[in-house]
Amino acid sequence: MAANYVRGGVLWPSPLGAILSSSRVGDVVLDPFIGGGTTAVVVKNFGRKFLGCDINPEYVSIAEERLKR
């Protein structure tokens, strides 16, 4: 079971379980609300490809920086 984490006083579930159970290595995972890029990082770490977008360009920048690490 994937761990949950707290950010901003809110408990957020890790997307790991959903990604691993619904996709295969090499699949493309779509995240239409990229936020801080948590899903993108998990997808990248487990051999999936990623497509993400957000209406707020600041979130896209945050996710891009996280993916560079």
Asked if the structure places residue 61 within a domain, the reply is yes
Asked if the structure places residue 69 within a domain, the reply is yes
Region class of 47: left (phi > 0), else alpha (psi between -120 and 50), else beta:
left
Q: What letter would DSSP give residue 2?
A: P
Asked if the structure places residue 3 within a domain, the reply is no
Name residue 1's amino acid: M
Asked if the structure places residue 56 within a domain, the reply is yes
Residue ranges making up the domain that contains 55: 23-69
Asked if the structure places residue 17 within a domain, the reply is no
Asked if the structure places residue 35 within a domain, the reply is yes
Residues 7-65: tens digit of each pLDDT: 666 666 777 888 888 999 999 999 999 999 989 999 999 999 999 999 999 999 999 99
Asked if the structure places residue 10 within a domain, the reply is no
Q: What is the pTM of this model?
A: 0.74
User: In Å, how far are 3, 11, 23, 33, 51 from 7, measured between CA atoms?
Assistant: 13, 7, 26, 17, 23
Count the domains in the chain: 1
Asked if the structure places residue 36 within a domain, the reply is yes
Residues 33-42: tens digit of each pLDDT: 999 998 999 9
Name residue 21's amino acid: S
Cβ atoms within 10 Å of 49's Cβ, excluding its own: 13
